[in-house]
Amino acid sequence: MLNKYARAFFTRVLTPFASFLIRRGVSPDTVTLLGTAGVMAGALVFYPMGEFFWGTVVITLFVFSDLVDGNMARQLGRSSRWGAFLDSTLDRVADGAIFGGFALWYAGGGDDIALCAVSIFCLASGQVVSYTKARGESIGLPVAVNGLVERAERLVISLVAAGFAGLHKFGVPGIQYLLPIALWIVAVGSLVTLIQRVVTVRRESAEAEEAAAATAQATAAPTSTPSPASASVEEKPRQQGSEAAK
């Protein structure tokens, strides 16, 4: 849902920065790679140590590369299948690093196996949610559904909660509980979104098969038998031919 309303806003905001990078000779692919590396560093270095505030600051500095590289490609007129593939693939890597960082913290210093499992579920369900749409589109279906918790929602909920939870180390009491609440919200929302997409693909698949069957039936050539009148007309030449033979 946030993709629909927020992407256009941030695209306008980040356009001047994208233009600046283009003037400096930076390529969109370079921005994609550096952005993913920065997100991974923030998530896998800071989060396992419980440094949620600083980890979120680092991640936030790089997470908008997903919008910057696309903006640069459009300005350069270089939108390509390779760029789309690279961007989508590295998005999955970045998402995995964020929730993997949470899981490492709760498996270690956080000492909470239940939240470790929830973090792993968030990681896995996020990948599957993205896969269902990509797979549905690859078999020719539109997958026309706005899920409850898509990638933008997962990132915003998790990163905002993690950033505020990190303020606990600065003496803010009780705020550390925001992250567990956020992880449960993301887990449940991702499950709902997965169900939404599976149901949508099932419906669209059935509709496509029905439409294909109807088209095939309509275009099939009907088998016809000659009418008695046409048969009599055909017999007359034959009879005349036999009279001539006599």
Q: Which entry of 91, 95, 111, 112 is annotated as an active-site residue?
A: 91
Answer for the pair 71, 26: CB distance below 8 angstroms, yes or no. no
**Residue found by looking up tokens 């705020």 in the block:** 175
Count Cβ atoms below 10 Å from residue 173 Cβ, excluding itself: 7
Nearest CA to 141 out of 206, 217, 216, 214 is that of 206
Return d(Cα 48, Cα 169) in angstroms, integer: 15
Return d(Cα 103, Cα 1) in angstroms, integer: 26
Catalytic annotation present for 91: yes
In the structure encoding, which two tokens stand for residue 132, read together? 């269902």
According to DSSP, residue 227 is labeled: -
Q: Could you give the C-alpha distances from 83 to 34, 101, 148, 164, in angstroms and in order?
A: 14, 27, 27, 34
Chain CA centroid to CA 125, Å:
12
SS3 149: coil
Alpha helix (H) residue ranges in the chain: 2-23, 28-41, 52-63, 65-76, 81-107, 113-138, 151-165, 178-219, 228-245
Cite the active site residues.
91
